[in-house]
Amino acid sequence: MKQGLNRREFLCLTTTAGAFLLFQWRIIAAAPNDRVLTYIRASLGQTLRPASDVDPTGKSIPLPFPFNVPCISIHFQNLFYYDTYFLNRGLIALGDIRQAENNVNALLYLVDKLGYVPNSNRLDMTNRSQPPYLCMMAKDIYEATGNKEWLSKAYPLIAKEYDFWITKRSTSYGLSRYHHDATQEYLAEFYEHLKKVRLPLNATTDEEKISIAGHRLAEAEAGYDFTPRFDGRCSDFIPVDLNSNLYLYEITMVDFAEQLNNGEKELWLDRATERKQHINDILWNETRGLYLDYDMKNERQSDITSFAMFQPLWAGCASANQAKRVRENLKYFEFAHGVVPCEAALHEFKYQWDYPNTWPPHSLILTEALDKYNYEEDAKRIRSKYVNIVYDVFKSTGTLWEKYNAVEGNINVTEEYKTPPMIGWNAGIYAYMRIVNKTRPG
């Protein structure tokens, strides 16, 4: 592929899937209904932002495709990477494959322009990415449309994003980490923002401030901003979930290469085999029967047990015996109304990506992980908890939320900013579980 595409060329290569969409839309649109689904269908259009050539504020990268933002207004008014995967699952379930494709095309456009997918298209968020899900999004679009021409154009851009993760975020262990590409000036400003708005920081030197800000920015790339999981040193850790997702990229690209008959199947298969071995050697704890992030600075596995242990199951990286042992740890994460990001423990600060909060993406990841290894009853139970908390809180508040309290079943959450009403991933996951999984509230 040539070095870069101009805007017109890029638009041309990504508009060919539309002819395949109408048939699927009519079939999938026949879906169940309840008050939450009615609200979602009525609200999704309010999160749609138009394609544009110029951003009038000068604060964002203009995108040549209409895209969804996480919230109707005020909060999160840009295209966010991590969120879009989960929203797209719902869009496809609801029959709006065309808009799901637009969202993916917008992300592919950013890869073509930047070499990676940024946290969002807001300029001050382009110094980091977010957990990689682009390859899985492309798979969903391809499965919905069967458009091999579209896939052939997406393929080199997915490979380009993958290269970002194995070069810009590489480690000496053969696995990848979360980090950032921020300037010293940005980090200094970011530290002051964190101290003022979100975290009780007390650095005494400029060097310490820069270090703290850098690690916390890496947490933002991890999608866990903020959490006790990395001991405030995210860049020092090899994360379980990141490398599980990259394994799934490699396995999915094996299939794409086979579909396209481009001769790269063995390349991706070798990469997947090597990564799986590294994951088992470095991140698997045989004694405890779970996966743990690896602390490169202290050359040992983390003391913090996090939800990331389930990601290798979702990616299909775990053996049947590993999955069985990981499942035995579910009791430390599952509560009356959902699952939490980290095992309950005392920390010096109450983080939002920690007990007792429950975040919608985790419910989808966990239930699909359990289903993959035939723990259907566990998956069914956790799906019901998620659907019920969303439904019940909607009845009392009239909206969807970014996160919930897994213990109390309400929005009495630990927060580092005022929890916003959110369509985004919550709408996507709820719609998917109601329509595809046929999980009913009550």
Whole-number Cα distances in Å, 371 to 53, 148, 315, 342, 389: 43, 29, 12, 22, 21
CA distances from 108 to 142, 151, 339 (A): 14, 11, 32
DSSP letter for each residue of 275-296: HHHHIIIIIEETTTTEE--EET
Distance, in Å, from the CA atom of 171 to the CA atom of 296, rounded to the nearest integer, reads 9
pLDDT tens by residue, the chain, 442 residues: 334 455 544 454 444 343 333 333 333 444 578 999 999 999 999 999 999 999 988 999 999 999 999 999 888 999 999 999 999 999 999 999 999 999 999 999 999 999 999 999 999 999 999 999 999 999 999 999 999 999 999 999 999 999 999 999 999 999 999 999 999 999 999 999 999 999 999 999 999 999 999 999 999 999 999 999 999 999 999 999 999 999 999 999 999 999 999 999 999 999 999 999 999 999 999 999 999 999 999 999 999 999 999 999 999 999 999 999 999 999 999 999 999 999 999 888 899 999 999 999 999 999 999 999 999 999 999 999 999 999 999 999 999 999 999 999 999 999 888 888 888 999 999 999 999 999 999 9
Q: How does DSSP classify residue 71?
A: S
Backbone φ, ψ for residue 305 (5° rounding) = -90, 120
According to the model, what pLDDT value does residue 7 have?
A: 52
Which helix (H) or strand (E) element contains residue 216?
A: helix 206-222
Q: Kindly tell me the sign of the dihedral angle through the C-alpha atoms of 314, 352, 294, 253.
A: positive
**What is the spatial distance between Cα 243 and Cα 47, in angstroms, rounded to a whole number?**
31
Whole-number Å distance between alpha carbons of 291 and 175:
14
* 171 C-beta neighbours (distance < 10 Å), count: 18
Q: Where are the beta strands (DSSP E) in 70-174?
A: none
**Model pTM score:** 0.93
Query: What is the structure's pLDDT at 6?
Result: 52
Beta bridge partners of 284: 291
Here the tokens at position 94 are 């609801």
Note the residue count of the chain. Answer: 442
Buried b (16+ CB within 10 A) or exposed e, 58-81: eebbebbbbbbbbbbeebbbbbbb
**Per-residue tokens: 90:** 């719902």
Question: pLDDT at position 348, please?
Answer: 83
Could you give the CA distance from residue 25 to residue 95 in angstroms, rounded to a whole number? 4
- pLDDT at position 14 is 46
Q: Which residues contact 437 (CB under 8 A, 6 or more apart)?
A: 367, 383
Spell out the residues 6+ positions from residue 258 whose beta carbon is closer than 8 angstroms to its own.
265
